[in-house]
Amino acid sequence: MKKHTDDIKIKIGTYIDRSNIISDIFINYYLKFFNHGEFHFLILDKNFDGVSNYLKTKGFSEDSFEMVNNSHIGVPILLGKQNSFVNHFTSKGFIVIYVDIDEILYHTDLRNYIINNDSDFITPKGVVIIPDITENIINKDNKILNQRSFCVFDDEYHSKVTVLKSNYTWGGGRHNKNDNKISEDIFLIDIGKCCPMIMIENNIISNNLYSKSTDRYSITEEIKINDILNGWRNSLTKLPTYITDSKLF
């Protein structure tokens, strides 16, 4: 039975440090299911003005913004802030969704799926979109699902506790699932590796924003980026048609 939604409170959070195609996709996708007032952005202090001005052009207001300090990328410095965000809002009766800026919590009826799910925690199945060697670089004027056909299913690192109705404590990278069962009908899709050129552009920006980065977030040589992607290509499988046919992003 579907629940009455008038009294349902939802908050979707993410960390954002820049504006680019990835942030555009994030906003466009989640606005299909949630309204502007349901978003909460943790914004890097070093680029707070630029990012907040960008978000305002997308219709968001300052009460959705929170400045956070962060000097490293690729290490769990933000973990305490992520945990406090979740526990602050769940304690006030919110259903909380937390995703990285390059993660698409995918379901064709996402809002109703979340509201009508009785579990305290939803742990979607992890999916990583990886370009096949025959696929071109991403055309930013076209949807990713028109341009990518392959992925890797990964429950170990890319399946994360993402929807929360009660307090929860993540470990590094938010990878700990505790005893939560992975759902087979909702997906957490990583789009951060969908294009080598986007990866390089992102890493150039990261090197300017942060004093320290792990290799994955600092490499700018195309051959090394493709070495990373080749490691994933050994496990490629076709993206399911129930994802590609929707053209939701």
Lowest mean pLDDT among 54-58, 209-213, 233-237: 209-213
Q: Give me the chain's average pLDDT, please.
A: 94
Tell me the longest C-alpha to C-alpha distance in the chain.
53
CB 47 within 8 A of CB 17: yes
* Per-residue pLDDT, 179: 83
The pLDDT tens digits for 110-132 are: 999 999 999 999 999 999 999 99
pLDDT tens readout for residues 130-170: 999 999 999 999 999 999 999 999 999 999 999 999 999 98
- Residues 103 and 164 sit within 8 Å (Cβ to Cβ): no
pTM value surpassing 0.85: yes
What is the distance between the alpha carbons of residues 18 and 16, in angstroms, rounded to a whole number? 6
pLDDT at position 86 over 70: yes
pLDDT band at 214 (very low <50, low <70, confident <90, very high): confident
Residues 6+ apart with CB under 8 A from 66: 40, 41, 42, 43
Q: What is the dihedral of CA 19, 23, 28, 31, to 10 degrees?
A: -100
The domain limits of the chain are 10-244
